Structure 1
Amino acid sequence: MSKLSNSIANAIINYVKGRHRLPIDGVPSNEDMLREAFHQALDYVNVKIYIDPEAKAKIPEYAHYENGHAVDAACDVCCTSVEIMEDGRIKCGTGIHVAPEDRDKVSLHPNSRITKAGLVIANSPCTVDESYRGEIFVVFRAIVPFSQAKKPGVGDVICQLETIHVRETRFIQVDNLEDLGTTSRGDGGFGSTAK
């Protein structure tokens, strides 16, 4: 059971155990405690992070806050080193190492600044599995002539980091295509809507 599942289960169990308890002398009601437990379990995720002091790395930050909480979907990640590789790819260090919780992953996405620079992240979105503990690197390739691409510099925001809860996929094999069910779309893809 993941930490998220455990937190939700414990919140419900604690609510049911004392569901008729009303607030007394500053002690919150069970309804208030259930709301807070769900808020903590569903709206926040803890990710342990190591910041390499030699790389002068920074903890990723949300750019915008309103009413005390982040309104961005992801945190900005800054570059701590730049290496131009022989094949023309640009490898940027971040100086950060992370340990997501059970069943979580960290995903790195390009931001608009990089797109405007004529670069793309080579394996976007990048996935940092819960078991990886090495430094996070972001690798770019140019989509314009290399000389015209604006290379990232140390201190530049190079991507956005998002933590996602991952549900384990269980495949249920069926005997024939019809067992998947029918939809109005069917097997239409690759521009089949002509839009």
Structure 2
Amino acid sequence: MFVKLINKSHHPAPSYATTGSAGMDIRANLTEPIVLEPLGRVLIPTGLYMELPFGYEAQIRPRSGLATKHGITLPNSPGTIDSDYRGELMIPLINLSREPFTIQDGERIAQMVVARHELVEWELVSDLEDSDRGTGGFGHTGRE
């Protein structure tokens, strides 16, 4: 699949690290480092603009290394970039640790997965078919 990309950063375009990777690393495009204080939130520019095909979205997800080692994650995970959005890709980050974290220019701050999605048309009904689960909710299948 081809996706149009404008890269106004001085970093390489997002790419897959391995042949089996689902996500591409997204890098911070900063003029100076940003210190993210504990429980602080910040919107990080990437210098990337894209034109996704209709019927696709870009999901923005945390990087597991930043999350487990430093407590840096996305407050809206996963974030969704719609196919009709043409603005700069901005990554919201939150620091869930007890220590400040410095975000450097070029640092890999998130992953992007491009995925197909369907448009839904609701069929209003008065009854739903039965299922094995029924109305069992949170924790329903975990313990007997």
Same fold (TM over 0.5): yes
Counterpart of 1:4? none
Structure 2 residue 29 is the aligned partner of structure 1 residue 75: no
Structure 2 vs 1, CA of residues 71 and 84 (structure 1 numbering), >3 Å: closer, same or farther? same
Counterpart of 1:46? 2
SS in 1 for 2:67: helix
Structure 2 vs 1, CA of residues 184 and 75 (structure 1 numbering), >3 Å: closer, same or farther? same
- Structure 1: runs of 5 or more not aligned: 1-44, 65-69
Greater relative contact order structure (CA < 8 Å, 6+ sep): 2
C-alpha separation between the residues in 2 aligned to 1:79 and 1:58? 11
Identity across aligned pairs (percent)?
A: 27
TM-score for both structures, normalised by structure 2: 0.86
C-alpha separation between the residues in 2 aligned to 1:159 and 1:193? 32
Within the candidate set 107, 127, 131, 1:183 is matched to 131
Higher-Rg member (1/2): 1
Q: More helix by proportion, 1 or 2?
A: 1
Which runs of structure 2 are paired with 1:14-163 in the superposition (5 Å)? 45-52=1-8, 55-64=9-18, 70-81=19-30, 83=34, 88-116=40-68, 117-145=70-98, 148-163=99-114
TM-score for both structures, normalised by structure 1: 0.65
- For the aligned residues, what is the CA RMSD? 2.0
C-alpha separation between the residues in 2 aligned to 1:90 and 1:83? 9
Structure 2 vs 1, CA of residues 72 and 187 (structure 1 numbering), >3 Å: closer, same or farther? same
C-alpha separation between the residues in 2 aligned to 1:160 and 1:143? 18
SS in 2 for 1:76: strand
Structure 2 vs 1, CA of residues 112 and 149 (structure 1 numbering), >3 Å: closer, same or farther? farther
Q: More strand by proportion, 1 or 2?
A: 2
Structure 2 vs 1, CA of residues 79 and 190 (structure 1 numbering), >3 Å: closer, same or farther? same
CA deviation vs aligned residue, 1:80-125 (integer Å, no higher than 9, x gap): 1265689821221111001001211111111112212112201111
- Structure 2: runs of 5 or more not aligned: none
CA deviation vs aligned residue, 1:26-69 (integer Å, no higher than 9, x gap): xxxxxxxxxxxxxxxxxxx21100001xx3132001001xxxxx
C-alpha separation between the residues in 1 aligned to 2:136 and 2:123? 23
Which runs of structure 2 are paired with 1:165-180 in the superposition (5 Å)? 165-175=116-126, 179-180=127-128
Offset of 1:171 from its aligned partner? 1.2
C-alpha separation between the residues in 1 aligned to 2:93 and 2:53? 28
